Amino acid sequence: MDARAHYDLAILGGDGVGPEVTAQALKAVDAAEARFGFTTSRVDYDLGGRRYLATGEVLPDSVMAELDDVDAILLGAVGTPEVPPGVLERGLLLKLRFAFDQYVNLRPVKLLPGVPTPVAGLTPDRCDMVIVRENTEGMYAGAGGSLYRGTDAEVATQESVNTRRGVDRVVRDAFDRARSRNRHLTLVHKTNVLNHAGDLWMRTFTEIGEADYPDVARDYVHVDAMCLYLVQSPDRFDVVVTDNLFGDIITDLGAAVQGGLGLAASGNLNPTGAHPSMFEPVHGSAPDIAGKGWANPVAAVLSASLCLAQLGQPDAATALEDAAATVLVEMDAMAGPDMGATTDQLGDRIAELVAG
Ligand code: NAD
Ligand code: IPM
Ligand code: MN
């Protein structure tokens, strides 16, 4: 770890609760800088629903070029009811994931001590896995089209794009993670129905495992069964690798198991470093609670922790994670709606704990 290191961060608060929770993550990063000696500079980008409605711009090329030069991007959330679905999600979030080739979407599912989980009797020692979601292909690629739109003969196709190269690189990343954890990797897919894509995923997984990771135990679970096991017996899983859409769906379920979307963090990683990685909560803009001060900032703080770990500040990353864990235990004792305190109060307390 280099205490004198400096990092350029781009901050994309986005819509709804996005800016509210991102502000708390930044307080925690401030405290980590003071304690661990590294520094950051930050440029705030006004992107999302407000800018789109005012100017029609989603993600100008000039902004893309600037973002490509930073060390990491912290994003809050995008999407708002005033803008048709997909405009911001595809035009901003997915554009960044694809253009910066952030092919690993890392989503830990970890039940922290003291957090109420809806799964009766589940204890933290039985829920600690990382889900590696493929992040640049699959159903998200946008392949397909429509004919006779608006007529009763309308046809719509949405195809899943899977390349050997794309599957290979994310599967290898997941095997590497399994090797540094408990040496167990699970492939989640739907090979019993998706004969083309499932076959490519299964062969790639098996061939790479046999050839290069004989020390990592492999198993396979269909995605429907995964939804059952993730709730019933999450202790079956160490590292999980899956395609883009399955990964999207099972990580919301994982978030529920670990105590809610307000606690679930993610990193969109470009493991080669050719472009910046981007860190964001798994949750969206939560229009139902935006502006109320009820958004839990822990997911954003844990995402910033993933960011610091990737930038090479492991002690700072651990300090953010520990502070978030402590606040979750303390929450019960704090006053306020729903989660026990306001977004801001929690952010202040987390920063105080990070400061040490
Ligand atoms: P959502 O994640 O915004 O909200 C789902 C539920 O979780 C809501 O009840 C919300 O109040 C709750 N929730 C979310 N974050 C929370 C937090 N920090 N603390 C407490 N509760 C929280 O999903 P949605 O309602 O399906 O989508 C809303 C918008 O966000 C849509 O436009 C969608 O496309 C977008 N979205 C963006 C991202 C992203 O930017 N990464 C992710 C998911 C959804
Ligand atoms: C997520 C979100 C995004 C996704 C949307 C907003 C494009 O749900 O990050 O999980 O589907 O990947
Ligand atoms: Mn999602």
- Ligand 1 contact via 79 beta carbon (within 6 Å): yes
Rounded CA-CA distance 46/341 in Å is 28
Other CB atoms closer than 10 Å to residue 81's CB: what's the count? 12
- Ligand 2 contact via 286 beta carbon (within 6 Å): no
Which secondary structure element, helix H or strand E, spans residue 253, and what is its range? helix 244-257
What is the strand order of the sheet 184-189 is part of?
39-44, 6-14, 72-77, 277-281, 265-269, 104-110, 128-134, 239-242, 184-189, 217-222
Q: Whose CA is nearest to atom 37 of ligand 1?
A: 284
Give mean pLDDT, residues 191-195.
Answer: 97
Dump pLDDT digits (tens) for 282-299: 999 999 999 999 999 999
Contact (Cβ atoms closer than 8 angstroms) between residue 49 and residue 337:
no
Is the predicted pLDDT of residue 3 greater than 80, yes or no?
A: no
Cross-strand pairs, 266: 280
Is the predicted pLDDT of residue 91 greater than 50, yes or no?
A: yes
Rounded CA-CA distance 329/326 in Å is 5
- Ligand 2 contact via 72 beta carbon (within 6 Å): no
Each residue of 21-44: b (16+ CB within 10 Å) or e?
bbbbbbbbbebbbeebebebeeee
Other CB atoms closer than 10 Å to residue 265's CB: what's the count? 29
- Ligand 1 contact via 78 beta carbon (within 6 Å): yes
Residue 62: CB partners within 8 Å, gap ≥ 6?
none
Is the predicted pLDDT of residue 335 greater than 50, yes or no?
A: no
Give mean pLDDT, residues 324-341.
Answer: 74
pLDDT at 10: 98
Domain-wise residue ranges, the chain: 1-112+259-356, 117-126+138-243
Dump pLDDT digits (tens) for 270-281: 999 999 999 999
Centroid of chain to Cα 1 = 24
**In this structure, which ligand is nearest to the CA of 133?**
2
User: For domain 1-112+259-356, which CATH number applies: 3.40.50.12500, 3.40.718.10, 3.40.640.10, 3.40.33.10?
Assistant: 3.40.718.10
User: For domain 117-126+138-243, which CATH number applies: 1.20.950, 1.10.3470, 3.30.750, 3.40.50?
Assistant: 3.40.50
Dump pLDDT digits (tens) for 235-266: 999 999 999 999 999 999 999 999 999 999 99
Other CB atoms closer than 10 Å to residue 317's CB: what's the count? 22
Q: Whose CA is nearest to atom 31 of ligand 1?
A: 79
Contact (Cβ atoms closer than 8 angstroms) between residue 295 and residue 289:
yes
Q: What percent of the chain has pLDDT over 70?
A: 97
Give mean pLDDT, residues 105-125.
Answer: 95
Of 268, 284, 286, residue with least CA distance to 276: 268
Q: Whose CA is nearest to atom 5 of ligand 1?
A: 286
Is the predicted pLDDT of residue 336 greater than 50, yes or no?
A: no
Q: What percent of the chain has pLDDT over 90?
A: 94
Of 30, 72, 75, 23, residue with least CA distance to 48: 75
**What is the pTM for the complete model shown?**
0.96
- Ligand 1 contact via 238 beta carbon (within 6 Å): no
Give mean pLDDT, residues 105-109.
Answer: 98
Atom of ligand 2 nearest to the CA of 135: 12
Give mean pLDDT, residues 145-161.
Answer: 98
